[in-house]
Amino acid sequence: MSKVTEDVQTKQTVQERLEEQLRAVAHIGHVEIGVTKFEDSLWFYTDVLGLVLSEKEEGRAYLRAWQDFDHYTLVLQESEKSEVNRMSWRVASEEALDLFEKYLKDTGIDVERIEAGQKKALGDTLHFKSPSGLPIELYWEKELFETDDPQLKSKLPSHPSKSHLKGVSPRRFDHVNIMVNDVKQEQEWWTDLLGIHHRYFVQNKEDERLGSWLSKTNIAHEVAFMRNANQNGAAFHHLAYFLDSPDELVRAANIMAENGIEIEWGPGKHGTSGAQFIYVFEPSGHRVELWTGGFLIFSPDWKPIEWKSDVGELGMEMWGSNPPETYYTYGVDIGE
């Protein structure tokens, strides 16, 4: 007798199992950040990083990489302090949004439903917070990017806009990373509640969790949590865009150097993911990662890779460079 047959012996169980199956996140969608130097940051994201400006309003800009199919993957909001305001994930179906709302409420989590039309290009969304206070958003509907601008429109149907127009010109939005006090607790909540798979983690000599990387899709991670060395709560560590090759990463580093943008660390290579990286600080103080390579994870029963302390340094950087002190201590605030 198969597991299904067993389960379906009571209607309740079958429905619960079905709801569990349907209550699924699809992928990370975008991140909203507050920036103190709006125009300077906008210059960085468009001219230096080479993102496409989808739309601009007073004190607000919507941006995307050339092959992000969505209307935007990054929102800049002029702000009194640099902070992260929202990390948004698409759910797997319209049904999933309702199921999450119900489930979150049942679980005792304070969830707010924002109706379609309130947020640019989005249908209904759910707002709620993780144990560390991270502002999460779930949505089902989001407009795709479309343009008739001949400077921007590609003749290739696979290109929502032309590639390589200026600056670094990354291919797509990749992930976010947040420092928290308790990595293990945060990771387990995301995995248990949202079904975001745990991919790999690093332990220190005291067998404390230094970092955990998670994804729902096949990419190595869409969200990561790293231990805040200050132990003073959560802080936004970085957002990341993806490049096609190590060579493009080197080109990106050159462009940063030519434009006076500080490279905090890199080029280096994370042993954990196998991705090559640079980290830079944009004018408002956000850390931005450009990265390339890394593995994809296809296994449906993936066992998180443990990086014990004896190889933890290789995990952080396998070529031998050490992260600067700031890498473990500096982040921007988590917005209200």
For a second copy, the closer of residues 4 and 206 by Cβ is: 4
Q: Which residues pair with 75 in a beta bridge?
A: 32, 62
Eight-class DSSP state of 53: E
Binding to a second copy (CB under 8 A): which residues in 188-227? 200, 217-219
Q: For the CB of residue 209, give the shortest distance to a second copy in the complex, in Å.
A: 16
For a second copy, the closer of residues 18 and 229 by Cβ is: 18
Q: For the CB of residue 298, give the shortest distance to a second copy in the complex, in Å.
A: 4
* Choices 37-45, 75-83, 113-121, 261-269 (CB under 8 A): range interacting with a second copy: 261-269
Q: For the CB of residue 228, give the shortest distance to a second copy in the complex, in Å.
A: 24
For a second copy, the closer of residues 44 and 83 by Cβ is: 44
For a second copy, the closer of residues 60 and 172 by Cβ is: 172
Q: For the CB of residue 288, give the shortest distance to a second copy in the complex, in Å.
A: 15
Out of 106, 110, 258, 325, the residue judged to bind a second copy by CB under 8 A = 258
CA separation for the pair 219, 296 (Å, rounded):
5
DSSP H/E element including 247? helix 246-258
- Cβ atoms of 283 and 293 closer than 8 Å: no
- Cβ atoms of 285 and 330 closer than 8 Å: no
Residues listed for the chain:
336
CA separation for the pair 13, 24 (Å, rounded):
18
- Cβ atoms of 175 and 223 closer than 8 Å: yes
For a second copy, the closer of residues 58 and 301 by Cβ is: 301
State yes or no: residue 125 binds a second copy (CB under 8 A).
no
CA torsion angle for 292, 40, 61, 125 (degrees, to 10)?
A: 70
As a three-state string, the secondary structure of 211-259 is: EEEEECCCECCCEEEEECCCCCCCEEEEEEEEECCHHHHHHHHHHHHHC
For a second copy, the closer of residues 78 and 95 by Cβ is: 95
Binding to a second copy (CB under 8 A): which residues in 162-191? 162-164, 166, 171-172
* Choices 1-9, 129-137, 187-195, 326-334 (CB under 8 A): range interacting with a second copy: 1-9
Out of 195, 246, 285, 323, the residue judged to bind a second copy by CB under 8 A = 246
Binding to a second copy (CB under 8 A): which residues in 61-120? 67, 69, 90-95, 98-99
Structure tokens at 33: 């950040």
For a second copy, the closer of residues 117 and 260 by Cβ is: 260
CA separation for the pair 323, 336 (Å, rounded):
30
CA separation for the pair 220, 56 (Å, rounded):
32
Out of 85, 273, 289, 331, the residue judged to bind a second copy by CB under 8 A = 273
Out of 118, 146, 262, 326, the residue judged to bind a second copy by CB under 8 A = 262
Instruction: State the helix-helix crossing angle for 94-106 and 11-22, rounded to 10 degrees.
Output: 110
